Structure 1
C-alpha cells in the first residue's frame, strides 16, 4: 500500500511539474487573430488593455504563482465557453488544474468588477451623448426624445439553497437572475443590475433601480424633460419611460406608435443577444454553477467586457440562436400604473408622440 501511494504521489508530482512547464511556456498572443478572438472573445488590443488594467490591480502579487496573462486568459476562456472549469484547464494554451482555474477566476473577477465596472458602464449621459441618441432614434424610427432602451434577461444559475429556491425560480421554469440592462443606440450597455432573483418582475426591478432614481431626480430638477427610455409592457409608463398602449385598435395611431416603439427598442434584444453570443457562460444551456452573488459578478464583468469589445472593434461572434432573445414578448405582463404619481404627465407625453405617427 505504501508503495502504491508513493507511486501515485510521484506521478502527481510529475504531472504538476509538466503542467507548470507548459504553463510557463504558454503565450496566448502566439495564436493567430481569429483563433485568439474565438478563444478569448477579445482581440489582442482589447486583451492587452484589460491585461494592463489587471496587472496594475495585482501589483502586490497574489497567492498564485500564475502570471497575470494566464490568469486573464483562463477567465476569459471560461466566459467564452461556459460550462465547467475543468474543461478550461485542459485547453492546450493554458494547461491548468481545475483548482487553479477556480482561483484565477475568483481573483480576476474581484479585480475587474471594480476596475472596469465604473469606467465602462456609465448611465450618466452628457448633453452630446443624449443629443446623438435622440437624433439616431428619430431619424431611424421617427421616435423623438429616446436616450436608451431597457429590458430584462434571465441568466441561469445553479439551484440555490432550498429556502431560497422559490425566489429564483422564474416563469420559464428554471433558476436564474433577472438582469436589467439599459443600452444605447450603439449597443453599448449603459446600465446593468444583476442583483434580482429570477422570480422578480421587471417592474419591481425597475422601481428599485438606481437608474430609475437617477432619472426621477433629473426629471424633478427639470434636467430631464421630453427625454425617455423605451421599455415593453412589463414596465410602468412614466415621463422618463415610454411603454406600449394596451390593446390598441389596429391601424390607429396608438397601434402605429406601438409598432415603432417595438422596432426602436429591438436594439436592446440585439444587445442582449450579442452579449450572450460573446460570453456563452451567460447562456441558459451553459448555466452558471455559482452562487447568485458570484453569478452577478460574472454578469457585471461580461457587460463591461462587451463594451470594451465595441470600443476596440472586436468582430461579432458567429450568430447562434439565443434562447431568450424574445423573452420579453413571452413574459410581458401589465405593470401596475395606479401607483404612478406622474401618470398623467406620462400619458400626455405618450399621446403627443403617438400623434406623430
Structure 2
C-alpha cells in the first residue's frame, strides 16, 4: 500500500473510532438516570436534593427547544451536566467524561451557555428579591435581635471575591489587592441565610463602598427611608458608608466601653453573611477561592447569579448545608474610605447608631 493509501486508511480508522465514541456516549446518556442514585449520593453529585432538582428541571424544560435528532440530549441530561460543573468546578472535559454525563467538551460548552442563560432568566427574578412582607420583616428583626441584642436588623451585606482568569481586556480593573484577577461580588442575606441581592458585575479592584453606592440595593433602602420607614436597616462592615438604613461599626473606639460593646454586638449579628458566603462557596465549588472560573467576566457573573438562585432553592427544599469552616469574625476589619451621602443622611445615621449604642446594647 502506498503512503497516500496508508494516510487515508488511518484517517478512516480515526473517524470510525470517533463515531464509536459518540455512540458509546449516547448509550451512556440513555441508560444513566440520575434519579437512580440514592439520596446522599444524588445530593453529593448535584448539590440539590431530588425535589429541588425536579423543580429546576421543570423550569428548564419549559424553555428548552425539543431536540429533533436521535443524538439530542434530554433536559435531565443537560441539567445534570451543568449542576455537576457548578458543584465541582472542574474543567469541561472532566465534566463531560463523568459517567453520568458522557458528553464531549464542545457539547458541554454549548450546553453550559444555553442552560445558564435559561436558569438566570427563569430563576433569579423569582428567587433573589429584596422585598419582604410584614411577617418576614418581623421574623427577621426578631431572629437578628436574639443573636446579640442588635435591634431592627433585616439583612446583612458584604463583598466576596470570585477568582477568574485574566480577562482579554481591561486586565488592570480585575486585578485585586490580593494579587488575583477577580469579580468583587456584593451579597445581601437575611436571617435564614437566603441571598436577597447579588451584584456580580464589578471588577475585583472596586471597593465594597463603591459597589454599594452604585447598587439598586442602596436605592431600595433609601426609597423606603424617604417614604418614612425609620426602624429598619442592614448591617455592613467598616468597608461600607454609615447611612440611616445601613449600620456600620465605630471606626475609632478608644476606651469607650459602650462603643466596644456596640461593635461586638454588631459583629456577632453580622456574622451570618460570612457564614452564607461560606455555605455558598462550599456548596457550589466552582466559585471557591482556590479555583478560577475560566470564562469572561460576563459569563462568570452569570454563573454567580445562577448559583445564588440555586442556593436559595436549596434552602427552600431543605437541602443540607455545605460548610466546612465558619469564618472568624474580626473586630479589626480593614477600613476603606467610602463615598458618603448628603450631610442630612450622615447626621441621621450617626444619631441612629448612637441611639442603638445607648439604648439597646
Shift of 1:60: 5.0
Deviations 1:194-251 (A, max 9, x none): 01110010001000100001111111111x2111000000000000000011120245
Aligned runs of 1:168-207 on 2, under 5 Å? 168-207=174-213
Which residue is 1:145 aligned to?
Answer: 152
- For residues 226 and 24 of structure 1, the distance between their equivalents in structure 2, rounded to whole angstroms, comes to 57
Asked if the contact 1:146/1:227 (under 8 Å) is kept, the reply is yes
- Pairing partner for 2:253 from 245, 248, 256: 248
Deviations 1:113-170 (A, max 9, x none): 0100011111011221111111111122111110100000000011012x41110011
Asked if the contact 1:153/1:327 (under 8 Å) is kept, the reply is no
Are residues 103 and 321 of structure 1, via their aligned partners in 2, closer, same or farther at CA, if it must alter by over 3 Å? Answer: farther
Indicate yes or no: 2:71 matched with 1:57: no
Shift of 1:104: 1.4
- For residues 322 and 89 of structure 2, the distance between their equivalents in structure 1, rounded to whole angstroms, comes to 15
- For residues 28 and 326 of structure 1, the distance between their equivalents in structure 2, rounded to whole angstroms, comes to 40
Determine helix, strand or coil for the equivalent of 1:47: helix
TM-score by length of 1: 0.94
- Pairing partner for 1:134 from 110, 128, 141: 141
Determine helix, strand or coil for the equivalent of 1:197: coil
Which residue is 1:264 aligned to?
Answer: 269
Which residue is 2:130 aligned to?
Answer: 123
| Alignment RMSD (CA, Å) | 1.9
Larger-gyration structure (1/2): 2
- For residues 85 and 302 of structure 2, the distance between their equivalents in structure 1, rounded to whole angstroms, comes to 14
Q: Is the deviation greater in 126-135 or in 176-185?
A: 126-135
The number of residues matched between the two structures is 353
- Pairing partner for 1:353 from 345, 351, 356: 356
Which residue is 1:104 aligned to?
Answer: 111
Asked if the contact 2:238/2:334 (under 8 Å) is kept, the reply is no
Q: Is the deviation greater in 196-205 or in 125-134?
A: 125-134
Which residue is 2:42 aligned to?
Answer: 36
Are residues 49 and 42 of structure 1, via their aligned partners in 2, closer, same or farther at CA, if it must alter by over 3 Å? Answer: same
- For residues 333 and 279 of structure 2, the distance between their equivalents in structure 1, rounded to whole angstroms, comes to 20
Asked if the contact 1:156/1:177 (under 8 Å) is kept, the reply is yes
Aligned runs of 1:85-96 on 2, under 5 Å? 85-96=92-103
- For residues 209 and 340 of structure 1, the distance between their equivalents in structure 2, rounded to whole angstroms, comes to 20
Shift of 1:172: 1.1
Asked if the contact 2:340/2:346 (under 8 Å) is kept, the reply is yes
- For residues 16 and 139 of structure 1, the distance between their equivalents in structure 2, rounded to whole angstroms, comes to 58
Determine helix, strand or coil for the equivalent of 2:273: helix
Which residue is 1:316 aligned to?
Answer: 321
Asked if the contact 1:148/1:183 (under 8 Å) is kept, the reply is yes
Q: Which runs of 5+ in 2 are unaligned?
A: 1-6
Determine helix, strand or coil for the equivalent of 1:248: coil
Which residue is 1:291 aligned to?
Answer: 296
Determine helix, strand or coil for the equivalent of 1:196: coil
Shift of 1:31: 0.9
Which residue is 2:172 aligned to?
Answer: 166
- For residues 314 and 148 of structure 1, the distance between their equivalents in structure 2, rounded to whole angstroms, comes to 22
Which residue is 2:30 aligned to?
Answer: 24
Q: Which runs of 5+ in 1 are unaligned?
A: none
Asked if the contact 1:71/1:108 (under 8 Å) is kept, the reply is yes
Determine helix, strand or coil for the equivalent of 1:155: strand
Deviations 1:164-189 (A, max 9, x none): 11100111110100000000000000
Are residues 329 and 124 of structure 1, via their aligned partners in 2, closer, same or farther at CA, if it must alter by over 3 Å? Answer: farther
Which residue is 1:3 aligned to?
Answer: 9
Asked if the contact 1:181/1:192 (under 8 Å) is kept, the reply is yes
Determine helix, strand or coil for the equivalent of 1:87: helix
Asked if the contact 2:282/2:323 (under 8 Å) is kept, the reply is yes
Asked if the contact 1:239/1:349 (under 8 Å) is kept, the reply is yes
Asked if the contact 1:152/1:328 (under 8 Å) is kept, the reply is no
TM-score by length of 2: 0.93
Q: Which runs of 4+ in 1 moved over 3 A?
A: 59-64, 325-332, 336-341
